Amino acid sequence: GAKNEPTSPPHFLPCSLSTRTTMICFRRAIIAAAIPCIDRTAAFAPFLSLPGGASSFHRSLDQLRPHKMSTTDTDDDGNSYIDKLALIMINSENKQLVARSYGKKVYYTPGGKREAGESDVQALLRECKEELDVDLLSATKTPGNIEPYGTFQAQAYGKPDGTMVRMTCFRVVPREAEIELESLVQPSEEVEELAWIDSTFDMEKLTVTGIMIVEDLKEKGLID
């Protein structure tokens, strides 16, 4: 219920992967090299934006600005990555929404890439309409808004080793609006299945960023 909502703005918090998750990532040959934990911008650590202030990837000022369409971007160190947006949705039973495309075995967090001229929010609304067949901000009786949750970066699923994906995640607030969406989302023509998962879900069926998100949600008490 509403008691699971964060009561204060998040700070920069690196997410520690569990031993189980580390072994899963290793078996799938996802981790290409050891990354020192000292560096908070290390590839396998998620970071949370500070609303109204600085963020680890300077997203707070970019969310309402149009972006040029780009498959990849480059960070401050010159490393390229695939830039994506995603929706974290939690239902009334404290489970997270994930999707699976036709012919795929792995579930992903709903979302996608920006198109030319779109802001983060505009792109997220379009992607969720395409994948979940729902208008996030107009479908609920409770007025809703889109707020940043955090950014996660890891090896991109199904890509050559060293190809990273940076996923900037958002949630619908307030909690009442998010819960209303639970009964409204449905798989679109491009999605074979939607599922509500918690921390007991088979992590072998998630992307690495998906694992990181589940563990982060569990750590914060947002899912069971």
| 28 has pLDDT over 70 | no
What is the pLDDT at residue 53? 35
What is the pLDDT at residue 161? 74
What is the rounded distance in angstroms from the CA atom of residue 220 to the CA atom of residue 6?
8
Summarize pLDDT for 5-23 with one digit per residue, the tens: 444 443 333 334 454 544 4
What is the rounded distance in angstroms from the CA atom of residue 127 to the CA atom of residue 93?
24
Confidence of residue 196 (pLDDT cuts 50, 70, 90): very high
Largest CA distance in the chain: 48
Contact 96, 85 (CB under 8 A): no
DSSP symbols for 89-141: -B-TTS-EEEEEETT---BB-SEEPPPTT--HHHHHHHHHHHHH---TTTSSS
Summarize pLDDT for 163-188 with one digit per residue, the tens: 788 999 999 999 999 999 999 999 99
Q: Which has more pLDDT, 70 or 110? A: 110
Summarize pLDDT for 33-89 with one digit per residue, the tens: 333 333 333 333 343 333 333 333 334 334 444 443 445 566 556 567 788 999 999
| 29 has pLDDT over 60 | no
